[in-house]
Amino acid sequence: MNENLFASFATPTLMGLPVVLLIIMFPMLLYPPSNRLITNRLSAIQQWLVKLILKQLMSIHNTKGRTWSLMLISLILFIGSTNLLGLLPHSFTPTTQLSMNLGMAIPLWAGAVIMGFRHKTKSSLAHFLPQGTPIPLIPMLIIIETISLFIQPMALAIRLTANITAGHLLMHLIGGATLALMSISTTTAFITFIILLLLTMLEFAVALIQAYVFTLLVSLYLHDNT
Amino acid sequence: MLSRVVLSAAAAAAPSLKNAALLGPGVLQATRIFHTGQPSLAPVPPLPEYGGKVRLGLIPEEFFQFLYPKTGVTGPYMLGTGLILYFLSKEIYVITPETITTVSTVGLLVYAIKKYGASVAQFADKLNEQKIARLEEVKQASMKYIQDAIDFEKAQQALVQKRHYLFDVQRNNIAMALEVTYRERLHRVYKEVKNRLDYHISVQNMMRRKEQEHMINWVEKNVVQSISTQQEKETIAKCIQDLKLLAKKAQAQPVM
């Protein structure tokens, strides 16, 4: 049971060959590049979506922050499509692996913070002390703010991993429950199946929301530091 | 912009010219020839309007046509059902919790696509149409602007043909103004001269009148002086006699 439950999260190998790289690069095929002005429906919808997201995401940034727009759009498209593809049966979701999420979160966060410290040192250091703190609390508050700063990349990565993994696990468990209940009492199995349907809808939403949250937070860290 | 037209015309007429121009600097080093013939990217070949036909959303129609001669209409369906049952019965495909999640996920997807597919396709078409419409509008506006400029230019040219009327009218006006000024001055001269002459005439008249009056006064004075006292008495007595006669005549008249 244990092995079966977590088997879907093992890094996929095909006869000993790590095929995970191909799986990570697979969503690229779903965004066909085109040199036309008027494209097919898929590309038209993708262009419209990208424009919508980009406008909403980069409206708060100044010129310096907007140089990150390509990075952030690629991020949200990648996380969104990998999460959504992971909902298909028997598929592997790269974002369930903590290694990959850390690999995405730490460089982005570090880049934003180091850029902030280099260019606006005083303002970056000022973030450690919120306005209007009473004087006796200052030393403790600085320690807390430092810890909070260093937790940010961890939080980013672990949030994404935990949400997606938990969703997949829950779907698997409730599917198993439905399967087990089918031979006992069909009505309960049916109710459980309804729960599974609702959960699937939630999972679709979560897939997109997590992508959005990840990118939004990176964008926020960027905004603080540009 | 004309130079571009000339260049493209030259390129169309003599493709070797393009090669020669490109070869110029590197002719000593390499004889690789680039860009032979027309540019291959434009015009872009048109996209097909509809995708390939599929049945059950997955299997292309060609598969059904392929099996039709041997197995008829129900052939591929039998094949599919048989395969599924075979996989299930031999446990090549195991029913796991994953199967249930598959059913729910795929069922949800199929429902969503069936319900919202057409409207999303319509939306995508509308997006493309809007893009084309915007560019078309720019093109039409540009054409209209140029057409308006052409019409305006033609109107201006027509007006220029009729400019001489304006000049004639102005010339006439000036001539009239000159004439009026000339006549005015003539009239003024005439009046001045007449004024002087009138002055002399009135001087003469006045002199004559003064002389007349003087003469009359002198004559009267002398006459009055010449009347002696004797003459005066005789004249008065005669006047009284005449008056008496007249009074008698007058008395006799009203009584009758």
pLDDT, mean of residues B181-192: 97
Give the Cβ contact number of residue A83 at 10 Å: 26
Is residue B140 within 8 Å of A60, Cβ to Cβ? no
Residues in chain B within 8 Å Cβ distance of A89: 98-99, 101-102, 105-106
| Alpha carbon of residue A217 to chain centroid | 10
pLDDT band, very low/low/confident/very high, at A116 (cuts 50, 70, 90): confident
Q: Rounded CA gap, A155 and A151, in Å?
A: 6
Q: Report yes or no: A129 at the B interface, CB cutoff 8 Å.
A: no
User: Number of A:B CB contacts under 8 A?
Assistant: 80
Q: What is the mean pLDDT of chain B?
A: 86
Q: A38, B96: Cβ pair inside 8 Å? A: no
* Residue of B101, B102, B116, B122 best to disrupt the A interface, most CBs of A under 10 A: B101
Residues in chain A within 8 Å Cβ distance of B96: 4, 175-176, 179
Residues in chain A within 8 Å Cβ distance of B132: 38
pLDDT at B77: 93
pLDDT band, very low/low/confident/very high, at B126 (cuts 50, 70, 90): very high
Over residues B103-116, the pLDDT tens digits come to: 889 998 999 999 99
pLDDT band, very low/low/confident/very high, at B2 (cuts 50, 70, 90): low
ipTM exceeding the 0.85 mark: no
pLDDT at A202: 82
Number of helices (H), then strands (E), in chain B? 7, 2
Q: Rounded CA gap, B135 and B129, in Å?
A: 10
Q: Over 90: is that where the pLDDT of B90 sits?
A: yes
pLDDT at B253: 81
Of the listed ranges A56-60, B19-23, B70-74, B121-125, the least confidently predicted one is B19-23
Instruction: Specify which of A16-30, A182-196, B201-215 reaches the highest per-range mean pLDDT.
Output: B201-215
Q: A88, B100: Cβ pair inside 8 Å? A: no
Q: What letter does residue A138 receive in the DSSP assignment?
A: H
Q: Rounded CA gap, B83 and B106, in Å?
A: 20
Over residues B7-56, the pLDDT tens digits come to: 555 555 555 555 545 545 555 556 777 766 666 667 777 878 888 888 88
Sequence-ordered strand ranges (E) for A160-200 = none
Q: Rounded CA gap, A17 and A32, in Å?
A: 27
Element (H, E) at B75: helix B75-89
pLDDT at B256: 58
Taking the CA of residue B103 as centre, how many other CA atoms within 13 Å lie in the half-sphere pointing to its CB? 14
Over residues A127-152, the pLDDT tens digits come to: 777 777 788 888 888 888 889 889 98
pLDDT at B27: 55
Residues in chain A within 8 Å Cβ distance of B97: 172-179
Q: Over 90: is that where the pLDDT of A4 sits?
A: no
Q: Over 80: is that where the pLDDT of A166 sits?
A: yes
Q: Over 70: is that where the pLDDT of B5 sits?
A: no
pLDDT band, very low/low/confident/very high, at A38 (cuts 50, 70, 90): confident
